Amino acid sequence: MMKKRSAPWAVVSSALLLSAVLSACNSGGNDPDGASPSGSSAGASSPSSAAASGSDSQTGADGKTTLTVAVYTEDRFLKSAVEQFEQAHPDIDVQIQETMPTDTSEGKQTINIKNGPDEGPSAADKDKYINSVNTALMSGNAADLISVNYLPVDRYLDKGMFEDWSQLAGQDSDFHTADYYENVLKGMSDSHGWYAIPIDYQFNAILANKAALDKVGGIDDKTWTWEQFVDLCKQIASAKNADGTNMHALGGEKPEDVIGYLAESAYDKLVTKSGNTSKFDEEAFRGYLELVKQLYDSGAVSADSLGKANEVFSPMSMESPMQLATMPSKLGNNEGEVLHPPGSGQDEGFPFTSDLAFALNARSKAKPAAWEFVKFLLSKDVQSLRELMGIPVQQAAAKQKLEDTAQDIQSGRAKIVSKGPDGSVQAITITDEQIQAALALLPSVGKYERKDDKVIDMINEESASFFSGGKSADAVAKAVASRVDTYLNE
């Protein structure tokens, strides 16, 4: 996928270490109040059939309710949250089932934020988690709560394996959706219902050189399409700088990275469903291949990194409150602005993802306990924990974490530095104005970027031969369609 660069900062804190090896700029859904019928599941199967198997009781010999939770990995946040939850709910025993253990023995995690592709876990490691959850679900022995990160959720929704959260949330008078960024909270919803609840999230944006955009007439980034993006990039490439040189829209991007990024944002258009049958839109994808080729043929985009002064757009992944607060307001010597990535032409907001979002197993015998745990994770106190690495879904917690970061810097507990292209280092502070600017962005986060990672991998693999000249766009589109259709419908 196209490189989504994190903000160009290096942060050191006694509570948290965030190291960034960067330089300068390179550096909706169902409303719970409209409760579903009792016991409804987020899928096609009836509640009675969905509950036909599984254990007869979730109560152990000690009288406690056992709540099982399947996750890719148990990080320090989840470990701390479970300990606090069990203290507050001594009648519930939470058992975490992780596939890839995280070392939290020293009470500190190190996270590296760097310039370049956000690779994430290896395909093999993700497959381990997918296979583990899939086997458990198909055998009727899955955990009560299941983290949907990396999972092909469509397969499970079609079989009615996930409960609709609407009833449990809607009947709880102590839970108020208005306290949250509702577009995110209920963003993982579709015709099957509200199938997953994110605990934190990240969103994608583009940092742009405003002066260069104004020079070519600007753009309404809330509704722009990929076709408009390409046309704008061509205009940018044809415009001259004061010294007679040309600017580039993007630099350091391979064409197969760009087509992968495009496919993620246009996934709903490329992959459609009719009943339980999925179909990859071969014709639309062929058009996207040609569109990306035009970018490179026009000289608007280069696979070489050209430096911030010669690049108008920088794709960014906003992954934490710290990155939001320290997001630069300047791009070199020119004013910068934050844009929505190109999309469908509809104002859908900044696309978001979540590393920790829970679906409720429709066969669970501990649904009330599962909701209590998820509600606890969504509470302001837990959402404000330093260990929560992503952006909180709870509004007051997001503001609190931004203010805590600023206070840590002011007190010397944490230090944020910006490294320039000449190697110089400058300390960065967080002002009240920056906090307010960051908070102003969050209500605009909207569409959940739902995709199947394996489909994106297939697109990247097959597309390389087109951009290298080895195959035609028609041949590559047919190959992708064949592989994707076979995979999604097997």
Q: Is residue 252 part of a domain?
A: yes
Please state at what angle helix 453-467 crosses helix 255-265, rounded to 10 degrees: 140
Range of the domain at 61: 47-199+354-389
pLDDT value at residue 223: 92
Same-domain status, 324 and 454 = yes
Same-domain status, 58 and 119 = yes
Same-domain status, 239 and 365 = no
**Closest among 261, 241, 240, 248 to 295, alpha carbons compared:** 248
Same-domain status, 120 and 243 = no
* End residue of a domain, out of 363, 389, 415: 389
Supply the CATH number for residue 239's domain: 3.40.190.10
Q: Is residue 51 part of a domain?
A: yes
* One-letter amino acid for residue 445 of the chain: V
pLDDT value at residue 108: 41
The rounded distance, in Å, linking the Cα atoms of 213 and 217 is 6
Same-domain status, 248 and 374 = no
pLDDT value at residue 307: 65
3-state secondary structure the chain: CCCCECCCCEEEECCCEEEEECCCCCCCCCCCCCCCCCCCECCCCCHHHHCCCCCCCCECCCCCEEEEEEECCCCHHHHHHHHHHHHHCCCEEEEEEECCCCCCCCCCCEEEEECCCCCCCCHHHHHHHHHHHHHHHHHCCCCCEEECCCCCHHHHHHCCCEECCHHHHHCCCCCCHHHECHHHHCCCEECCEECCEECEEEEEEEEEEHHHHHHCCCCCCCCCEHHHHHHHHHHHHHCECCCCCECECEECCCHHHHHHHHHHHCHHHHEEEECCEEEECHHHHHHHHHHHHHHHHCCCEECCCCCHHHECEEEEEECCHHHHHCCCCEECCEEEEEECCCEECCCCCEEEECCCEEEEECCCCCHHHHHHHHHHHCCHHHHCCCCCCCEECEHHHHHHHHHHHHHHHHHCCEEEEEECCCCCEEEECCCHHHHHHHHHHHHHEEEECCCCHHHHHHHHHHHHHHHCCCCCHHHHHHHHHHHHHHHHCC
The rounded distance, in Å, linking the Cα atoms of 70 and 59 is 18
The label of the residue with tokens 């955990």 reads: 143
Number of domains, the chain = 2
The label of the residue with tokens 């490691």 reads: 125
Same-domain status, 179 and 292 = no
Chunked mean pLDDT (size 10), the chain, 490 residues: 46 35 33 39 40 46 90 96 98 96 53 45 91 95 97 92 96 97 96 96 91 85 93 86 74 90 93 91 97 92 73 88 70 68 91 97 97 98 95 97 88 75 72 88 94 94 96 98 95
Same-domain status, 302 and 224 = yes
> Please, what is the Cα angle at 49 between 46 and 55, to 5 degrees?
130
pLDDT value at residue 246: 72
The rounded distance, in Å, linking the Cα atoms of 122 and 197 is 25
pLDDT value at residue 9: 34
Tell me the pTM: 0.84
pLDDT value at residue 242: 67
Q: Is residue 149 part of a domain?
A: yes
Q: How many residues does this entry show for the chain?
A: 490
Same-domain status, 326 and 251 = yes
pLDDT value at residue 147: 98
CA atoms within 13 A on the CB side of 211: 14
Evaluate whether 448 touches 352 at the Cβ level (below 8 Å): yes
pLDDT value at residue 237: 84
Same-domain status, 300 and 381 = no
Tokens of 274: 């009719």
The rounded distance, in Å, linking the Cα atoms of 31 and 171 is 11
Same-domain status, 366 and 311 = no
pLDDT value at residue 40: 45
The rounded distance, in Å, linking the Cα atoms of 66 and 72 is 20
pLDDT value at residue 53: 33
